[in-house]
Structure formats: C-alpha cells, structure tokens
Structure 1
C-alpha cells in the first residue's frame, strides 16, 4: 500500500472518529439530531477549513469533496444508535483521536509546504489543522477548549510538525519522514494520556484587601 493511500485511509478514520466524539459532546448538551450532525461535521472538518481560510486556499476541502460532509455527518448520527455502548470503546476512541491529531498535523504541514510558506506558518498550519476542530467543538458546547488546558495536545501537534519539517529540510526520504513523525507524535500523545503528562499551568489568584 502506498504511503499516500495509507494517509488517506487514516484521514477518513480520523474524521469519522472526530465526528463520533463530537456526537457524544452534543449528547451531553442535549442537542437535537441536526445539532449532532452539524457538530460532527464542524469538529471533523473545522480544522482544515480554518487552515484553508487563513492560508487563502480555495475551494475548502469539504467544498471540493462534498462527500466528507455525508461521511462525518452520518458517523455522528450513527453514534446516537450505539451511544449506550460507547463507554466500552473509550480507549479505542482515545487512540483514534491521537491518530487524527498527528494525521491532521502532517496534512496541514504538507499543504502549507506546497504553498511555499515559511517554516513557522507550516508548523502553525499543522497545529491549526490538528487542533482547531476540537476548539470549535468545545466552544460550541460551552467548554474550555482542550487546546487551552495543561494536557499535552497542541504540544504534540507542534512536535510532530517540527519533526516532519526538519526531516524534509534535511532531505530525508519523504515517506520515512512522514511516517516517523506521525509515529513519534502518536507515541507522545498516548504516553501523555497514560501518565497524565501536561504543560505547566499559570495560576493567578487576585487577593482583595
């Protein structure tokens, strides 16, 4: 199987997983089925959409490939039918979410590199693609976005992007660099979940006199 084909399969798995986790968030907020459908699409495709708008890249991914709206929307609705069993699949979805993070990151970096963007924009493009869908989900559900908590999430995306860009800059084989960066990022994310690794918190308490 070619690397590009493998990346595409991972992308489809990732957007389905993101849509299904978004459906659970919608259920916790008691949204109707339309809300579940829309939140699933926004979460799964929002990161790429924000990236494309910021980079001036058109048409947007879901406009160019409308079937992504059907895939993610129906994945979200399917979650309603199996919601009672979802707690048994928690670890599976944590793994798939981690896969989605690194896959989206590499795809975002690839797109920015193809547009000959500076390194910092390439890294930012990867992070936006990987994290912004979850931010949109959390904002719409009135939660503090995972991106802004101490948990290692955006950091994993940044590290994955840096490894990928560095390998490309060194002229290493593209497929090896891409797979290596994703494996390292995936391992880092899973270890962060397992051992509760996080970034230092800023705690400010104002004392009134």
Structure 2
C-alpha cells in the first residue's frame, strides 16, 4: 500500500473516532453516529480529490475506508460512556487526526505536478475540512475557527515543513514524518500549553 493510502487509512480511522465522540456529546442514535463519523472521516479527503479532479474520489474507489469509519463509530457508540472527559479525548484524537490528514493531503498532491502553494493548500484542506463539517453538523463551535487556536496554523506549518524536507532528502517517509511532527507539536502546544495567536480586538474609532 502506498504512503498516501496508508495515511488516508489512518486519518479516516482517527477522524471517525472524533466524529463519533462529537455524536456522543450530541446524544445521537447509532445511525447518527455512523453519519457523523463517516462525514468527518472522508470529508477533507473528498474536498481534496474533487479540487484535484481525481476520479473517482478515494473512498468511492476503495469503499473499505467507509467500512473502517463505520467500525470506529460502532466502537465509540458502545464505549464512549467509559471516558471520563470525552471532550478532552476528542481534542487529542483530533490533534492526531489533523497531523496524519495534513500529511496525507501533501502526499496525495506532491506527485501530481502542482506547485508548493497547491500542495500546501491540499494538505490544509485534507486536515481541516472533515472536522469543520463534523462540528457544523453537530452544532458545535468548530475547533478550526476558535479564536487564537493553533489549528489551521499548525496545518499550514506542517505542510510547509514537509515540502522543505522534500528538498533535503529522497526518503519519502521523512518529509511526511516531519509534517506530522510539526503539525502535532503546534496543535499539542495550543491544547496543553495554551499557545495562541493574537485574536482581533475591536478598538473605538479615533475622533479628531
């Protein structure tokens, strides 16, 4: 199995877990769990493939991605009540999923002939859009839009780190590992240490 396919597989599973955890917070039934988990799991990769005009979309070509996401949903449906803090687990699983998905987006795009700007954007889109869809559908404040959170910033930094590493080595896994490490480090710092960007603060107009 190729590196992009392996990364897609890992991202689908972990993102599906986060989708199911959000479904548990919304008190949905099993069908709701399946829907939200699958939407979260394949959302970012679907947008990426549509923008890159890749046909068929990765999970249509290989339906086992949807089956894996469904298995994750069922697992969480029967075990979520054992977790002391589902939101805390959600944050950390989402950080892992973001890291893997950004690398998957970079790996899927780097060999298509597109330049660094598109490679970076596809990494960010693959990492961010599934979680964004999850939170919007479940009426939660999207993690990707929380003021000051290092989320999209972490994804951008990881994608750029991967491309810099590709110029320094011929080992295909090393740049992807660098991408995951940088993305996760920044996201973990935001969760654990409170790293933030300065949010906009309105100021009163100056009167002459």
TM-score computed with the length of structure 1 as normaliser:
0.85
2:102 to 93, 100, 105: 105
Residue 28 of structure 2 is matched in structure 1 by: 31
In structure 2, distance between residues paired with 1:206 and 1:38: 45
Are 1:139 and 1:145, in contact at CA under 8 Å, matched by a contact in 2? yes
Structure 1 pair 29/175, CA: closer, same or farther in 2 (3 Å)? Answer: closer
2:186 to 185, 188, 203: 188
Structure 1 pair 170/13, CA: closer, same or farther in 2 (3 Å)? Answer: closer
Displacement after TM superposition at 1:40 (Å):
0.2
TM-score computed with the length of structure 2 as normaliser:
0.86
Residue 75 of structure 2 is matched in structure 1 by: 78
Are 1:135 and 1:146, in contact at CA under 8 Å, matched by a contact in 2? yes
Displacement after TM superposition at 1:170 (Å):
4.0
Residue 162 of structure 1 is matched in structure 2 by: 160
In structure 2, distance between residues paired with 1:134 and 1:36: 14
1:87 partner SS: coil
Structure 1 pair 151/107, CA: closer, same or farther in 2 (3 Å)? Answer: same
Alpha-carbon RMSD across the aligned residues, in angstroms, is: 2.6
In structure 1, distance between residues paired with 2:20 and 2:203: 35
**Deviation readout 1:133-167 (Å, 9 max, x if unpaired):** 00000111122321111211111110010011112
Query: How many corresponding residue pairs?
Result: 204
Are 1:108 and 1:129, in contact at CA under 8 Å, matched by a contact in 2? yes
Which residues in structure 2 correspond to 1:21-100 (within 5 Å)? 21-87=18-84, 94-100=91-97
Task: Structure 2: state its 5+ residue gaps.
Answer: none
**Stretch deviating more after TM superposition (162-171 or 152-161):** 162-171
In structure 2, distance between residues paired with 1:142 and 1:43: 14
Displacement after TM superposition at 1:13 (Å):
4.1
Which one has the bigger helix percentage? 1
Displacement after TM superposition at 1:57 (Å):
1.0
**Stretch deviating more after TM superposition (39-48 or 82-91):** 82-91
